[in-house]
Structure 1
Amino acid sequence: MNQKFLPLKIEGKHVYVGFWMRLAAGLADALILISFGFLFAWLESIDRNLAIAVTIPSATLFAFYNIFFNARFGGTPGKLFFDIRITRPDGTPIGWRHAWWRSSVDLFFAVLFLCVKIWALSQIDPETYTELDWLNRSQELSSFYPAWYGLLGILSAVWVWGEFIVLLLNKRKRAIHDFIAGTIVIKKEFSMHSKDILKPPLGNESAPDPAKPL
């Protein structure tokens, strides 16, 4: 089925958001998420059992952060700050289905990394875990990682770099997850999230249809 896309430019302005603006929005989101990262790291250092419990939200935070904000507001706080919106190809808002599909690969990797970490935590001695400092604890945990963990890391890196490459090579600046979910990333002024785009230009209001009752 053919999808109707917004044009590349409207009144001489670029509609689609490029790499650098998306990077800036991503860095803004990273500043928000890093505070949670420090909290989770501190909680994980207290006790092995607590670390196991904390691992679930810490491993999936990034994916669910994106899913929630994209579905509810059309973008993460970083994107909203830079007036960026995630929409359907015609500029209308996305829903939960689009948001889930958009983060599906990130969530897939998050679940795999989660399983690996929980397995490693379940194998380490609780007293040893508490006694070790952060660096030695990380090294000890890595000794319990399965043989395929290295491949998982490579595939995750390939996915991330593939996102960047695809975004740079198409005229609408869509990353792979945009193709998966059927979404585009545009400036707010060209989105149906912005009420201004729904208003007719001044002096160009349509005349009332005489066939319709007033």
Structure 2
Amino acid sequence: MKTTQRYQTFSSRFLAGIVDSLVFIPVAIADAFIITEDSPDYLLFFWIPLSYASYSIYSVLMHAKYGQTLGKMCAKVKVLNAAETDVPGLKRAFLRDSIYIAMTAFSIGWVLRNILAGDFTFAFYTSEVNFYFSTFSVVWLLLEFVTMLTNSRRRALHDFIGGTVVVNKPYLREKIPDSQTSGSSAVKGPSHDPASPY
């Protein structure tokens, strides 16, 4: 299975993930100060959903409009629709992150239920919610990695769900290899118009 430089994005995606993690350090610091045993329930009820949802909101909106998060901008990779004709748009960006969004929503609901029932404790949050969320994230990342190895465009599982592909931006204006377009007349490649967003 031959993969062109256009789609060799694994290391760049990894770098992008690190940069995006750094972007959310302020949120993590705020978590450390806000999510404590002494915090009032109303504050936890407001902050925890906002904290949990912040990355999904960031990811969906940035990918929808620019095809890139700040991390991907630094790593010089871009998310396009599967036909490589445009950035994903809101629907595809949402679908691309839908599994992670669903897990986030489940975690938020689990936490809010405990807060409303008066059963929320810091131990519950750190030992149960974070444990299951972290375990899910690791399993999901492994599935993503395995999926990337099964196709020449290195599309991860969430790319198939969202109908997207990640490309190296420096190679974006190159003609899409024939091996990637065979059997699909929909794949045409981005415009070469100087005013194009690509």
- Could you tell me the TM-score, scaled by structure 2's length? 0.75
Give the AA of the match of 2:159: D
CA distance in 1, matches of 2:133, 2:28: 21
Amino acid corresponding to residue 30 of structure 1 in structure 2: S
- Equivalences, count: 174
- In structure 2, how many angstroms separate the alpha carbons of the residues matched to 1:88 and 1:38? 35
Moved over 6 A (4+): 149-153
Contact 1:109–1:156 (CA under 8 A) maintained in structure 2 = no
Q: Match of 1:184, SS?
A: strand
Counterpart contact for 2:9–2:77, Cα < 8 Å: no
> Match for 2:164: what amino acid?
T
Alignment-derived partner of residue 104 in structure 1: 98
Instruction: Determine which structure has more spread, i.e. the larger CA radius of gyration.
Output: 1
Distance 1:163 1:17 in 2: 15
Distance in 1 (alpha carbons) for counterparts of 2:62 and 2:68: 6
* Percentage of pairs with the same residue: 25
Is 2:130 the counterpart of 1:139? no
Q: Which residue in the other structure is 1:121 paired with? A: 115
Gaps of 5+ in 1: 1-6, 130-136, 201-214
Cα separation, 2, equivalents of 1:124 and 1:175: 40
Q: Contact conserved, 2:85 with 2:191, CA < 8 A, in 1?
A: no
Counterpart in the other structure of 1:39: 30
Aligned residue in 2 for 1:185: 166
**Is contact 1:99-1:181 (8 Å) kept?**
yes
Letter in 2 for 1:99: A
The answer to whether the 8 A contact 1:87-1:185 is kept is yes
CA shift at 1:49, angstroms? 1.4
